[in-house]
């Protein structure tokens, strides 16, 4: 019932490793850590979601504002290793059409 | 012996307790016989309803109370989420929710409005009641995944 | 803002729901910061209290209701289990419970009577109230495992 | 929140493999399956508890009546692969003194 957020900074790239649940309780922490990374021009932000066991619309909200910010600041946002469960939430809401998503063991966008 | 078991919970309107309800729900849904996938879907739907009560209920964070009732039937689960906050214009809201549409430009992309839509997609039947003293969301999920329309308003008549 | 969060649950007095309460408890205790071992201990204590309400509450299986209240404090968890069944002679019972004693012969070995004893060992503070309309067990577990005696009767005054 | 009970009959020996939770809901099923095995004279009943994730006093009650029955019927009862959690409940109540218990990765009796 917590969300661990691990950030590794590489050259022009930030890798964000999440593990736990993204809900109304944890989404604010995620937003606070993720948004600054998308504000660095030219930065490639890769969010590894392999160990995200739960996500609802509060998570979508965070990724939508991160996407907007990355568009405004010419950075890139990519979510990788999405489980079927997590992908399902993006997919039902149609957001898979505008987000750069890579499913676990399945390449899609 | 009645044909429904009622489980009622009251929690503070605080974000940190949504996860607790998900655990309770998983136990109840497991008892009824829902699959892992179905349980995960119901978890999202209930979390969305509780999140709305917390963020839109109109109460200061941590001051309101949310009531969650589980109606356990042989063929279905009914979940009611009720807050004691402000009501809202359902029709006005309904015109705004739904999936992302390609026509939306990136700048206008809304960051919310997916919660009620997810509830509708993930559950078989949804009923929203706007009272003077808060909003009540009644959600039904059938065991076989098919939303048969039966006379099943036992929980709703309680609200 | 008060310094306690109250979570209240009502369940049918049926054996199949004890596991649901354990799930709820694990979420709440995890929030407070209890260790895995401590959470498992609290699970046993609460299950014992609910089991007693189901089996000794004097109601026909499936007809009574059990109320479980969780009082979430910064330094402790208070759990109250209350049934609407019959009361019992606490003093008479107290003389019978306890661990197995070597003096007991195999033939006389009692098959029950370990529930209340486990509650007392696993929790830091236990208070049993015998009302006219049922039994209330109030259990407290402190975060650091030490049962400091503070003025902490907020939940008990509710019963 | 269920208990799976798997019984394998060998020559003069019954191996009972449990997995899940032993509580007021599942204890009656366990009692119903375990007791008849202890009633066979000379039988050795071995209960493998490795995958028992939870047990409370309702489980103790079942094992006490099984022990009594095995004493009356000259059979043997032994519990093996007890996790620390499960052993703790026998231990606190003092029942480890009269039961044949073998802890997981630790030999005791
Ligand atoms: N419990 C509630 N109390 C008051 N208003 C609500 C409640 N639930 C939903 N609403 C209204 O419905 C709108 C749509 O909700 P939803 O689809 O969940 O999206 P979001 O919560 O992201 O805005 C909310 O913005 C709010 O105006
Ligand atoms: N909620 C209750 N309602 C009525 N009697 C109870 C209740 N809880 C405990 N008791 C009494 O206390 C006795 C001891 O309980 P316990 O130590 O849990 O052992 P057991 O339940 O195995 O008998 C019970 O046999 C019963 O007589």
Q: Is residue C95 part of a domain?
A: no
* Residue position matching structure tokens 């990355």: A70
Which pLDDT tens digit goes with each residue over A39-78?
Answer: 999 999 999 999 999 999 999 999 999 999 999 999 999 9
Does B11 sit within 8 Å of C7, measured CB to CB? Answer: yes
| Least distant ligand from the CA of C48 | 2
Residues in a beta bridge with D55: D22
Q: What is the pLDDT of residue C60?
A: 66
Q: What is the pLDDT of residue C95?
A: 74
The C-alpha of D65 sits at a distance from chain C's nearest C-alpha, in angstroms, of 6
Closest among D14, D43, D9, D47 to D30, alpha carbons compared: D47
Q: What is the pLDDT of residue A106?
A: 61
Residue C153 has pLDDT above 70, yes or no: no
The helix (run of H) or strand (run of E) holding residue A49 is strand A44-55
Q: Is residue A109 part of a domain?
A: no
CATH of the domain at D43: 3.30.750.24
The domain tally of chain C equals 1
Q: At what angle do helices B36-56 and A57-72 cross, to 10 degrees?
A: 70
CA–centroid distance for B115 within its chain: 9
Q: Is residue B107 part of a domain?
A: no
Which pLDDT tens digit goes with each residue over C124-148?
Answer: 999 999 877 889 999 999 998 554 4
- For ligand 2, say whether the CB of C134 is within 6 Å of any of its atoms: no
Q: Is residue D37 part of a domain?
A: yes
To 5 degrees, how large is the angle CA C68–CA B71–CA B59? 65
Which pLDDT tens digit goes with each residue over B37-51?
Answer: 999 999 999 999 999
The domain tally of chain D equals 1
In angstroms, the CA A48 to CA C150 distance is 46
Which pLDDT tens digit goes with each residue over B90-131?
Answer: 777 777 778 887 777 777 788 888 999 999 999 999 999 987
Q: Is residue D108 part of a domain?
A: no
The C-alpha of C124 sits at a distance from chain D's nearest C-alpha, in angstroms, of 15
C49 Cα to the center of ligand 2, angstroms: 8
Task: To the nearest 10°, report the CA torsion of C137, C142, C146, C147.
Answer: -40
CATH of the domain at B19: 3.30.565.10
* Domain that includes residue B14, residue range: 5-86+119-144
Q: Is residue D85 part of a domain?
A: yes
Q: Is residue C154 part of a domain?
A: no
Q: Are B97 and B113 in contact (CB under 8 A)?
A: yes
Q: Which chains touch B (3 or more CB pairs under 8 A)?
A: A, C, D
CA distances from B97 to B79, B120, C155 (A): 22, 11, 42
Give this complex's ipTM: 0.91
| Least distant ligand from the CA of C90 | 2
In angstroms, the CA C78 to CA C72 distance is 7
Please report how many Cα atoms fall inside a 13 Å half-sphere around the Cα of residue A90, on the Cβ side: 23
Q: Is residue D60 part of a domain?
A: yes
Q: What is the pLDDT of residue C61?
A: 61
Confidence of residue D47 (pLDDT cuts 50, 70, 90): very high
Which pLDDT tens digit goes with each residue over C46-72?
Answer: 999 999 999 988 666 667 999 999 999
Q: Is residue B61 part of a domain?
A: yes
Q: Is residue D27 part of a domain?
A: yes
Please report how many Cα atoms fall inside a 13 Å half-sphere around the Cα of residue C153, on the Cβ side: 5
* Domain that includes residue D85, residue range: 3-103
Residues in a beta bridge with C82: C67, C136
- Strand D76-82 relative to strand D44-55: parallel, antiparallel, unpaired? parallel
Q: Is residue B158 part of a domain?
A: no
Cα-flanking dihedrals φ and ψ of residue C51, to 5°? Answer: -55, -45
Q: Are B140 and B72 in contact (CB under 8 A)?
A: no
Touching chains D and A? (3+ Cβ pairs < 8 A): no
Residue C10 has pLDDT above 50, yes or no: yes
Encoding tokens for residue C63?
Answer: 């007809």
Tell me if residue C42 falls in helix, strand or coil.
helix
Q: What is the pLDDT of residue B1?
A: 44
Q: Which residues, at least 6 apart from B41, have a Cβ–Cβ distance to it below 8 Å?
A: B122, B123, B141
Q: Is residue B140 part of a domain?
A: yes
Encoding tokens for residue B109?
Answer: 């992309």
Q: Is residue A79 part of a domain?
A: yes
- For ligand 1, say whether the CB of B64 is within 6 Å of any of its atoms: no
In angstroms, the CA C117 to CA D92 distance is 9
Select from C6, C9, C14 the Cβ nearest to the Cβ of B8. Answer: C9
């Amino acid at each position: 019932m917590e969300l661990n957020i691990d950030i590794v900074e590489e050259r022009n790239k930030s890798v964000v490793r999440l593990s736990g649940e993204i809900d109304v309780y944890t989404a604010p922490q995620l937003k606070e850590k993720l948004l600054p990374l998308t504000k660095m021009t030219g930065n490639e932000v890769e969010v590894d979601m392999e160990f995200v066991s739960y996500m609802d619309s509060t998570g979508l909200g965070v990724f939508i504002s991160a996407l907007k910010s990355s568009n405004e600041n010419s950075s890139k946002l990519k979510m990788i290793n999405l489980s079927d469960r997590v992908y399902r939430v993006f997919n039902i809401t149609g957001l898979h059409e505008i987000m750069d998503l890579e499913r676990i063991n399945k390449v899609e966008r | 012996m009645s044909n429904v078991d009622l489980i009622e919970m009251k929690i503070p309107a605080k974000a940190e307790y949504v996860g607790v309800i998900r655990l309770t729900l998983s136990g109840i849904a497991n008892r009824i016989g829902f699959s892992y996938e179905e349980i995960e879907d119901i978890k999202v739907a209930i979390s969305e309803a509780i999140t709305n009560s917390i963020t839109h209920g109109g109460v200061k964070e941590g001051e309101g109370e949310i009531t969650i009732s589980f109606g356990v039937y042989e063929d279905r689960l009914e979940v009611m989420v009720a807050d004691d906050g402000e009501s809202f214009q359902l029709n006005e809201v309904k015109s705004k929710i739904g999936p992302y549409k390609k026509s939306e430009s990136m700048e206008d992309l809304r960051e919310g409005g997916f919660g009620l839509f997810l509830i509708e997609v993930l559950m078989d039947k949804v009923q929203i009641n706007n009272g003077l003293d808060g909003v009540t969301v009644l959600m039904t999920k059938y065991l076989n995944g098919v939303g048969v329309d039966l006379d099943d308003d036992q929980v709703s008549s309680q609200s």
